[in-house]
Amino acid sequence: MSNDYKYVDPDYVYTDPKTGVLRNLENISTYKALTFAETTATARRAKELRAHPILVESADTLFAIHRYLFQDIYKWAGKKRTVEISKGGKQFFPLQRFDTALLHIDSLIAAYKRINRDDKQALSRKLAEILDSVNYLHPFREGNGRAQRELLRLLALEKGWKLNLNPPDNAAVYERYMAGTISGDKGILAELIFECLNGD
């Protein structure tokens, strides 16, 4: 099965029809240059969020995170996508039902906040459920993974834990994260999160 993303965007809302590159604030016209600019800018913004974490109140916080991370690159940073997206033949959550999905994520976040900070198993299971739901929603045209990993990092931090699902010194963690999100396997994700939650 292919893992390529497909986008239903006949009006080229997000991409330049000549280059196929995402429209961006820097008017960059090549994939390579945009990838470099995006990676550099979001890494800087992520570092700022680590220094000054924000409180996760609801699913709306996910949009605030995305807006903060991608504000230097995309005009639509922090705004829900207006195109349908699929990957490997599997469609992400349909646009017309976004409000229902956001309410569900709100309920998951509220349930997470009620869990005792010392119950690492329960925290891991609920974070996996939140991650799976947010990933299936895939609310943004680009940058979903980075935004959802930051959301989970912040939620873990609120309970006094550290969580990094893309450590620079351990590619296996990211590979397992990708395997769990692509397959929608909450068991894989809960096990991975449990192993990665660090109280130091």
Residue ranges covered by each domain of the chain: 5-196
Q: What number is the average pLDDT over the span 100-109?
A: 97
Q: What number is the average pLDDT over the span 17-38?
A: 96
Q: What is the mean pLDDT of the chain?
A: 94
pLDDT digits (tens, 9 = 90+) for 140-186: 999 999 999 999 999 999 999 999 999 988 999 999 999 999 889 99
pLDDT of the residue at 5: 83
In the predicted model, is pLDDT for residue 36 greater than 70? Answer: yes
pLDDT band at residue 13 under the 50/70/90 scheme? very high
How far apart, in whole angstroms, are the C-alpha atoms of residue 16 and residue 185?
35
pLDDT of the residue at 89: 80
How far apart, in whole angstroms, are the C-alpha atoms of residue 75 and residue 13?
12
Q: Which range is least confidently modeled, 84-93, 132-141, 156-165?
A: 84-93
pLDDT of the residue at 200: 64
- Note every long-range contact of 22-29, with CB atoms under 8 Å and residues 24 or more positions apart, other chains counting: 22/74, 22/141, 22/142, 23/74, 23/75, 24/73, 24/74, 25/72, 25/73, 25/74, 25/75, 26/73
CATH number of the domain located at residue range(s) 5-196 in this protein: 1.10.3290.10
**Which two three-digit tokens encode residue 13?**
């809302």
**Which two three-digit tokens encode residue 187?**
């068991």
DSSP symbol at 177? H
Q: What number is the average pLDDT over the span 9-16?
A: 93
pLDDT band at residue 1 under the 50/70/90 scheme? very low
How far apart, in whole angstroms, are the C-alpha atoms of residue 7 and residue 2?
14
Answer with the residue of higher pLDDT: 141 or 4. 141
Q: What does the buried/exposed string (b/e) look like for 37-76 if buried means 16 or more CB atoms within 10 Å of the residue's CB?
A: bbeebbeebbeeeeeeeeebeebebbbebbbbbbebbbeb
How far apart, in whole angstroms, are the C-alpha atoms of residue 30 and residue 104?
38
| φ/ψ bin of 20: left (φ > 0), alpha (ψ from -120 to 50), beta (otherwise) | left
In the predicted model, is pLDDT for residue 77 greater than 70? Answer: yes
pLDDT of the residue at 4: 76
pLDDT band at residue 52 under the 50/70/90 scheme? very high
